[in-house]
């Protein structure tokens, strides 16, 4: 496996040349576009890693899956899905139009920004800081370590430039979908997006999802099976932005990407996968990461569809 990962890494690395790093905030723009890390954790808990698999980056939109798992755990499925749908959408991730025209007047799913902000608004805690810390602790509990960091430069930059997300959040407030203070809710959201992870971390969480909530390393249940299934279902239908359909054809497994360059993927009963490559394609997915996952899917016959 180790040899395979090295080979896949070498083959996929040139794809980074077709992408470019996110540059809407300085903290992301400084990433090394040539970086590529790949990690796999199998159902027995064995870890394999190649390249920059231990380089840290901000989790960004991958946090939407973890926040959903966290809030489903803390507040229950009904608390979430009475306010957000479960249906995919081909809209850009940051569209408002669907809130205004959809009959249900709720965001389509928890993996688009509008839905994710609703989920952030449901996190337990006494303040944005407290909520952010608790979420960080939850991620740490999945990873079996207490030291999950947050990238404060990313957090600060996001917080100061998020006009579109503020527009979405105030619209959600108008619709009665945000119980608390709007700016506080956004603060929680920016905190969750700035959590620092590496490819191995993503593979470990992917491995938990692949076993429907059981951690193969510590061999115990850390998420309810239903929670893991909901997360995986949403990942397969809308985890890769406007490229979700393409990804289902080319790779064929549940996955979630973030503009920090990470992708977390999961293959039922077999593997969790994590990749890191900050040069993004035009849809916001890691260019080299996609190439690596497509190749891994072929080599390991990962496709579930």
Q: What is the CA radius of gyration of the chain?
A: 18
Contacts of 176 (CB under 8 A, 6+ apart): none
CB of residue 148 vs a copy of itself: minimum separation in angstroms? 26
Q: For residues 264 and 205, what is the distance between their CA atoms, to the nearest angstrom?
A: 8
Site for a copy of itself contains 70 (CB under 8 A): no
Show contacts with a copy of itself in window 113-132 (CB under 8 A).
none
Reduced to 3 states, what is the DSSP secondary structure of residue 245?
A: helix
- Beta bridge partner(s), residue 221: 214
The window from 16-24, 60-68, 273-281, 297-305 that contacts a copy of itself (CB under 8 A) reads 297-305
CB of residue 165 vs a copy of itself: minimum separation in angstroms? 8
Q: Which of 167, 179, 181, 282 binds a copy of itself (CB under 8 A)?
A: 167
User: Quick check: is 241 catalytic?
Assistant: yes
Q: For residues 20 and 7, what is the distance between their CA atoms, to the nearest angstrom?
A: 23
Q: For residues 186 and 195, what is the distance between their CA atoms, to the nearest angstrom?
A: 15
The window from 20-28, 127-135, 194-202, 239-247 that contacts a copy of itself (CB under 8 A) reads 239-247
- Beta bridge partner(s), residue 21: 279
CB of residue 215 vs a copy of itself: minimum separation in angstroms? 19
Site for a copy of itself contains 155 (CB under 8 A): no
Burial class (CB in 10 A: 0-12, 13-18, 19+), 260: buried
DSSP 285: S
Catalytic option among 241, 251, 286, 297: 241
CB of residue 95 vs a copy of itself: minimum separation in angstroms? 7
The window from 129-137, 149-157, 228-236, 272-280 that contacts a copy of itself (CB under 8 A) reads 228-236
DSSP3 helix / strand / coil % (the chain, rounded to 5): 50, 15, 35
User: Quick check: is 61 catalytic?
Assistant: yes
Reduced to 3 states, what is the DSSP secondary structure of residue 109?
A: coil
Q: Which of 20, 86, 134, 221 binds a copy of itself (CB under 8 A)?
A: 86
Contact residues: a copy of itself, CB under 8 A: 85-91, 95-98, 100-102, 108-109, 163-164, 166-171, 173-174, 182, 229-230, 232-234, 236-238, 242-246, 248-249, 252, 254, 268, 303-305
């Amino acid at each position: 496996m180790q040899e395979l990962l090295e080979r896949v890494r070498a083959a996929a690395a040139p794809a980074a040349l077709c992408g470019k790093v996110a540059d809407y905030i300085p903290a992301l723009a400084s990433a090394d576009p040539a970086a590529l890390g790949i990690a796999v954790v199998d159902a027995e808990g064995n870890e394999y890693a190649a390249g920059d698999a231990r380089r840290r980056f901000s989790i960004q939109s991958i946090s939407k899956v973890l926040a959903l798992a966290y809030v489903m755990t803390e507040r229950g499925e009904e608390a979430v899905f009475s306010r957000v749908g479960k249906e995919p959408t081909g809209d850009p991730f940051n569209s408002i139009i669907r809130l205004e025209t959809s009959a249900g007047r709720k965001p389509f799913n928890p993996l688009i920004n509008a839905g994710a902000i609703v989920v952030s608004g449901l996190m337990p805690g006494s303040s944005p800081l407290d909520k952010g810390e608790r979420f960080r602790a939850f991620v740490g509990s999945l990873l079996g370590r207490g030291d999950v960091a947050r990238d404060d430069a990313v957090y600060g930059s996001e917080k100061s430039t998020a006009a579109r997300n503020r527009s979405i959040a105030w619209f959600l407030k108008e619709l009665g979908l945000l119980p608390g203070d709007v700016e506080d809710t956004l603060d929680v959201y920016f905190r969750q997006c700035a959590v620092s992870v590496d490819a191995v971390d993503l593979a470990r969480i992917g491995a938990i999802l692949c076993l429907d909530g059981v951690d193969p390393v510590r061999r115990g249940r850390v998420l309810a099976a239903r929670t893991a299934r909901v997360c995986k279902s949403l990942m397969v239908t809308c985890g890769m932005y406007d490229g979700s359909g393409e990804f289902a054809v080319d790779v064929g497994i549940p996955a979630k990407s973030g503009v920090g360059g990470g992708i977390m993927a999961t293959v039922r009963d077999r593997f969790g996968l994590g990749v890191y490559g900050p040069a993004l394609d035009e849809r916001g997915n890691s260019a080299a990461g996609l190439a690596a996952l497509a190749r891994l899917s072929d080599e390991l016959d990962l496709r579930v569809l």
